[in-house]
Amino acid sequence: MSRIARTETARISLATPCRLLLAVAGAASLAACAQSPVGRQKADLAAPGRQAVVERPHRLAALHPRPTSRARAVGGDAKQTASHGVASFYSDTETASGEKFDKNELTAAHPTLPFGTKLRVTDTSSGRVVTVRVNDRGPFIRGRVVDISPSAAEALGMVDKGTTNVRLEVVQ
């Protein structure tokens, strides 16, 4: 065999084990990454987080507060009820009933009353009264009994205050 042929054979015989060794080393390093403590820590943190969300009871009362007090209206329809609490005003783009929100209409958001219910809202400090139609759900802040539209808030004179104590009476 010539000297050049022996050199080529030696290169080929050394290149094959080197390639094999590199392939094995690469596979081992990938396997080590899959078993890294960081990967396990992330998996350990993710599992209890999901489990905590499933086991934690849903607090519906915090999302849908009830009026603080409710009493039957004296004399009249059995459907009529009155409640006292804090009112605020809001603006939105669309209501829960599907209507487009109009800040110029006398509308309100109430957590439980059916859509279309007419409410007489009386500011207990000033005595001002406005009748609104329920077309949305809310308020979602604990202690509030109704959210009213900006035009209804203006009629009650509460725009500058933001919130006010009110008495609600179902009219229709």
18 vs 58, higher pLDDT = 18
4-34: b (≥16 Cβ within 10 Å) or e: eeeeeeeeeeeeeeeeeeeeeeeeeeeeeee
Residue 11 and residue 35 in one domain? yes
Tokens 């509460």 correspond to 158
Domain boundary among 55, 81, 98: 55
Instruction: Convert the pLDDT of each residue in 4-28 to its tens digit.
Output: 656 666 556 666 777 777 788 877 7
Give strand ranges (E) for the chain. Answer: 69-72, 81-89, 107-109, 118-123, 129-136, 144-148, 163-170
Single-letter residue type at 33: C
Residue 112 and residue 161 in one domain? yes
Per-residue DSSP letters for 76-100?
S-TT-EEEEEEEEE---SB-TTSPB
Residue 69 and residue 15 in one domain? no
Q: How many domains does the chain have?
A: 2
142 vs 1, higher pLDDT = 142
Share of the chain above pLDDT 70, in %: 62
Residue 49 and residue 106 in one domain? no
Residue 91 and residue 157 in one domain? yes
Residue 144 and residue 84 in one domain? yes
pTM above threshold 0.75? no
pLDDT category, 66, cuts 50, 70, 90?
very low
Q: Given a cut of 50, is residue 151 above it in pLDDT?
A: yes
Residue 165 and residue 108 in one domain? yes
Residue 26 and residue 103 in one domain? no
Domain boundary among 19, 37, 55: 55
- Domain containing 79: what range? 63-170
Residue 22 and residue 83 in one domain? no
Residue 150 and residue 70 in one domain? yes
Q: What is the CATH number of the domain that holds 102?
A: 2.40.40.10
Residue 156: CA count within 13 A, CB half-sphere: 34
Q: Given a cut of 90, is residue 50 above it in pLDDT?
A: no
Contact criterion met (CB below 8 Å) for 169 and 110: no
Residue 7 and residue 83 in one domain? no
The predicted structure's pLDDT at residue 119: 95
Rounded CA-CA distance 165/121 in Å is 10
Residue 71 and residue 133 in one domain? yes
Rounded CA-CA distance 147/111 in Å is 9
Instruction: Convert the pLDDT of each residue in 74-93 to its tens digit.
Output: 444 444 567 899 999 888 77
115 vs 94, higher pLDDT = 115
